[in-house]
Structure 1
Amino acid sequence: MLDLSVIILTYNEEIHIHRCIENVNQFAKKVYIVDCFSTDKTAEIAKELGAEVIEHKWPGNQAEQFNWALSNLAIDTQWVLRLDADEYLLPELVDELRKKLPMQLENVNGIIFNRRHIFMNKWMKRGIYPIKLLRVFRYGKGICEQRLMDEHIQLIEGHAVEFEYDFCDHNLNNLSWFCHKHVNYAIREAVDLLDIELDLTGAAETDKHKEISKQALQKRMKKHKYARQPLFWRSFAYFCYRYFLKGACLDGKIGFIWTFLQGWWYRTLVDAKIFEIKRTCGNDKEKITKYLKEKYNISLK
């Protein structure tokens, strides 16, 4: 086994958790499930597969939960892998991890993987693939960025290297679940864009200096540019970019559904939330901050 611990954050993930834990049990010394008091069989299945289950109340976002885990779990391995319950490593990446991880130089503190999306059981090869994410890091050398959306693992020191092969984001829930999830995401994404535009938290300027993956940093800078474009027009333009210029139109009907829902409908919903907030508060930072707390129970730190 590799000198590596896996941290998986869960809430009602019985549809995915068996697949995920079986996958990492191939190579990980320890698997931690940080659960938010699931009402299904998530914890039961995880324990049966040998994972250590820790219940912790949801603090409001992924970043806080993951960083709590880093600070409170009894991690005694050199490396940590962050994985979601609906994700798994392909066999080629498992083999690459086994061969290369023990050979990393001391100044290498992070490992970047390619993520591929499997939507309606089809690999979305075009549009946004591959997403490069820093998912493995030396314990004590990485933390999760404190933000509501689009959070990445950030290295405290050292640098990261890229591996060749992929892990998969493969959610097994239906389209209703997918759409409902994005409705919940929309307000957080709206706040993130408002923060970039109006600097509600003072964090926007620090993005360009963070030690995250090169692609993630480039994506963040593109997001800053996106935030300066006109509402509603930008969501349509983003859809056209992914569907036509990046070739998602070649992925058939499922490719259209994926790109339309995630690239246009969701982005339009985000803009509608921003429009709603600005219609009430204008660009007044204090009013927006108060509105977000009263209407959505979102506190900006």
Structure 2
Amino acid sequence: MNAEYSFIILTFNEEIHLPRLLESIAGLDAAIYILDSFSTDSTLQIAEGAGATVLQYAFENHPKQWDFALKNFEIKTPWIICLDADQVVTPELQIQLANFKNDDYKEVNGIYFSRKNFFKGCWIKHGGYYPFYLLKMIRFGVGYSDLNENMDHRFIVPGNTIIWKKGHILEENLKENSIRFWIDKHNKYSDLLAIEETERILGLRSQTIKPRFWGSPDERTAWLKQLWWGLPRYVRPMLYFNYRIWFKLGILDGRTGIIFHFLQAFWFRLVVDIKIDEIIKQRKNADRH
């Protein structure tokens, strides 16, 4: 059994995704821990068939789900790799992981993987979506889930991090081939994000990560988020969409890619802005009574 790292995977009705992910990491002989949100399909049978250790926890948001996973699994390795069920490890990344030794990374607490994101079978190569680095491999007991985020989930590690630019994780949610699924999913996400942004406006929520434009990928994201929060609502979705389409060359992603950028950069962000105003109005009305 691999003594260097273990995998933690989040699942909810992932029977079409989980076999694909498990196959991509099967040769690494690492322990697999799965936190499931009470799936009703064959996800649990697939997990148990792969020899995974399974716990179940009711889903509220991704940061809390990861927090529970990190605190409740009995991990026996110095490192953990945290993946979503709709992700796949490429052969190139698998080779890097096969050669990984903790002794070679004594001064490192986190490793960023390069992600390729797909929508309806199309690799979203432009619009700021590639290269895109996610902190997926963290030293166990050192890294933790950022609970100051309500929708976006990220891990925080003190100390040094590095980026692996060779090899990728491929992310493609096949359920999103149905636009109804994508819209329903992001409508729920917009609730979480609207609540989060409203709490930031009211000073009830702060950033954990220090914003730095020239810092780590997550520090740069934190800096960009601060910029986003300072932009006027209703204007910023159009600015963001045009930024991705023209400045970040999202137009080169073709029809499917442009649809993705429109939905993700404009439609979703506009819905969030509308919901922020609704929440603020509800709070004001409640205060009057």
> Is the pair's TM-score, using the shorter chain for normalization, greater than 0.5?
yes
In the alignment, the residues of structure 2 paired with residue 184 and residue 215 of structure 1 have an alpha-carbon distance, to the nearest angstrom, of 26
In the alignment, the residues of structure 1 paired with residue 251 and residue 229 of structure 2 have an alpha-carbon distance, to the nearest angstrom, of 25
Does the aligned pair in 1 maintain the 2:24–2:91 contact within 8 Å? no
1:11 aligns with 2:15: no
Q: Tell me which of 169, 172, 177 is aligned to 1:170.
A: 172
Does the aligned pair in 1 maintain the 2:78–2:102 contact within 8 Å? no
Q: Name the count of aligned residue pairs.
A: 279
User: One-letter code of the match for 2:273?
Assistant: D
User: One-letter code of the match for 2:227?
Assistant: K
The match for 2:89 is 89
State the secondary structure of the residue aligned to 1:135.
Answer: strand
What's the offset of the Cα at 1:197?
2.8
In the alignment, the residues of structure 2 paired with residue 177 and residue 170 of structure 1 have an alpha-carbon distance, to the nearest angstrom, of 14
Structure 1 pair 53–234 and aligned structure 2 pair: CA distance change class (3 A):
same
User: One-letter code of the match for 2:245?
Assistant: Y
The match for 1:239 is 241
What's the offset of the Cα at 1:225?
1.3
Unaligned runs of 5+ in 1: 288-301
TM-score by length of 1: 0.87
1:160 aligns with 2:164: no
In the alignment, the residues of structure 1 paired with residue 226 and residue 122 of structure 2 have an alpha-carbon distance, to the nearest angstrom, of 31
Question: CA offsets per residue over residues 121-175 of structure 1, 9 Å max, x none?
Answer: 11111012222111101111111100212221101x3211110132111110122
Query: How does 1:1-301 map onto structure 2 within 5 Å?
Result: 1=2, 3-58=4-59, 60-102=60-102, 104-128=104-128, 129-146=130-147, 147-155=149-157, 157-164=158-165, 165-173=167-175, 174-201=178-205, 203-204=206-207, 206-208=208-210, 214-282=216-284
Greater shift in the superposed pair: 63-72 or 13-22 = 63-72
Question: CA offsets per residue over residues 202-248 of structure 1, 9 Å max, x none?
Answer: x24x43179xx712211122111111111111000000000111011
Does the aligned pair in 2 maintain the 1:7–1:31 contact within 8 Å? yes
Does the aligned pair in 1 maintain the 2:62–2:152 contact within 8 Å? no
What's the offset of the Cα at 1:115?
1.3
User: One-letter code of the match for 1:98?
Assistant: A
Structure 1 pair 193–137 and aligned structure 2 pair: CA distance change class (3 A):
same
State the secondary structure of the residue aligned to 2:164.
Answer: strand
Does the aligned pair in 2 maintain the 1:9–1:34 contact within 8 Å? yes
Does the aligned pair in 1 maintain the 2:89–2:170 contact within 8 Å? yes
State the secondary structure of the residue aligned to 1:207.
Answer: coil
Question: CA offsets per residue over residues 165-199 of structure 1, 9 Å max, x none?
Answer: 32111110122111111000001111222233332
The match for 1:295 is none
What's the offset of the Cα at 1:55?
2.1
In the alignment, the residues of structure 2 paired with residue 139 and residue 28 of structure 1 have an alpha-carbon distance, to the nearest angstrom, of 18
Greater shift in the superposed pair: 96-105 or 241-250 = 96-105
Does the aligned pair in 1 maintain the 2:198–2:279 contact within 8 Å? no
Identity of aligned residues (%): 34
What's the offset of the Cα at 1:71?
1.7
In the alignment, the residues of structure 1 paired with residue 183 and residue 101 of structure 2 have an alpha-carbon distance, to the nearest angstrom, of 37
In the alignment, the residues of structure 2 paired with residue 28 and residue 133 of structure 1 have an alpha-carbon distance, to the nearest angstrom, of 23
Q: CA RMSD in A?
A: 2.0
In the alignment, the residues of structure 1 paired with residue 224 and residue 197 of structure 2 have an alpha-carbon distance, to the nearest angstrom, of 12
